[in-house]
Amino acid sequence: MNKIIALWSVPRSLSTTAEQVMRQRGDFEIIHQPFGFLYYQDNPKVKSPFPNVKTYEDIKNNICSTAKKHDVFFKGMCHFCDEFLTDIDFIQKLINTFIIRNPAKTILSHYKLNPDVTSLEIGNERQYQLFQRTISLGKKPIIIDADDLENQPINTIKLYCNVVGIPFIQKALTWKATPGKNWGVGDAAHWYKNIAESTGIKKQTDIDHLATINKNPKLKIFYDYHLPFYQEMYKYRLITKDSAHGK
């Protein structure tokens, strides 16, 4: 079996940006959020990335079958597939990597697109559970932080590639804009507006996310609950030379 690199994320964490980098390489079969179909199966506009797929086992088996022919990269939200969290056999087949982001940023970004967002959908708790599971299996965590990806994209991706055992391809950090693209997820183009209109990784405008969070009691509860999960994973993030010096 070839490599299966999984990038486990929470919503609004620049995970599709990281996926776009892997897509531009051209040497991986890219599977976008394969487990999202299960989470949104009541929405007929959300299609499975595989034909005739109805269950978690179907999706898992299709991923493994694809890996018999190609190296595979997929990114997924942990809250989409709770069944995965206890599937030790599948976890061990993967190179499990994670992208994290300060929940003040993810919560506010999510809330702007979905004011009815729930604590489960914020995602840090489920991500942390999978992180713990990989550690319990003796696997060293591979974690990148979204701020490092924005501030030091070349160094962060280069380090990520080195750790997962693939060559660094710098040209993969730029691409053509694809306005309106929804990444095959139903009518979700508005969720992908920023990445679809981008041509590379650029630092976003700095705003005081936490100040806005503190003004909204619902969001403040979410933030206080999910922050410890992020903070614990942050201790294990890959650190480039520049990020280690606070640059």
Which of 240, 3, 1, 7 has the alpha carbon at shortest distance from 134?
A: 7
More confident residue, 84 or 133: 133
| pLDDT of the residue at 33 | 87
Return the structure tokens found at 76.
């997924």
Give the integer Cα–Cα distance in Å for 238 and 243.
9
| pLDDT of the residue at 38 | 77
pLDDT one-digit tens code per residue, 10-55: 999 999 999 999 999 999 999 988 888 777 666 665 666 777 777 8
Q: In what order do the strands lie in the sheet with 29-32?
A: 29-32, 72-77, 4-9, 95-100, 142-145
pLDDT one-digit tens code per residue, 130-144: 999 999 999 888 999
* pTM of this prediction exceeds 0.75: yes
Q: Which domains does the chain have, with CATH numbers?
A: 4-244 (3.40.50.300)
Which of 52, 78, 82, 84 has the alpha carbon at shortest distance from 65?
A: 52
More confident residue, 40 or 102: 102
Helix (H) or strand (E) holding 74: strand 72-77
End-to-end distance of the chain based on CA atoms, in angstroms? 39
| pLDDT of the residue at 245 | 46
Average pLDDT value for the chain: 89
Q: What percent of the chain has pLDDT over 90?
A: 67
Which of 174, 184, 170 has the alpha carbon at shortest distance from 20?
A: 174
The stretch 181-203 carries a mean pLDDT of 77
Sort 231 into a burial class: Cβ within 10 Å, 0-12 / 13-18 / 19+: middle
The stretch 197-219 carries a mean pLDDT of 90
Say which residue the tokens 């890996």 belong to: 67
